[in-house]
Structure 1
Amino acid sequence: MFNDIGALELVTLVVLAVLVFGPDKLPKVIQDISGFIRKVRAFSDSAKRDIREELGPEFKDFEFEDLNPKTYLRKQLDNDDLGLKEIRNGFDLRKEMADVTDAVNGHDSESVASPSSAGSSGAGPNMSKGGGPDLQKRPQNLDPGERPPFDSDAT
Structure 2
Amino acid sequence: MFFGLTIEKLLVIGVIAALLVGPERLPRYAETLARFTTRAREYLRGARDRVKEEMGDEFDDVDWRTLDPRRYDPRRIIREALLDDAPVPTVRAASAGAAIAATSSSPWVPEGAGTFVPGETPPFDSEAT
Q: Does TM-score exceed 0.5, indicating one fold?
A: no
| Structure number with higher helix proportion | 2
Which structure would you say has the larger Rg?
Answer: 2
**Smaller-chain TM-score range?**
0.3 to 0.5
Name which structure has the greater RCO, CA cutoff 8 Å, separation 6+.
Answer: 1
Q: TM-score, normalised by structure 2?
A: 0.44
* TM-score, structure 1 as length reference: 0.37
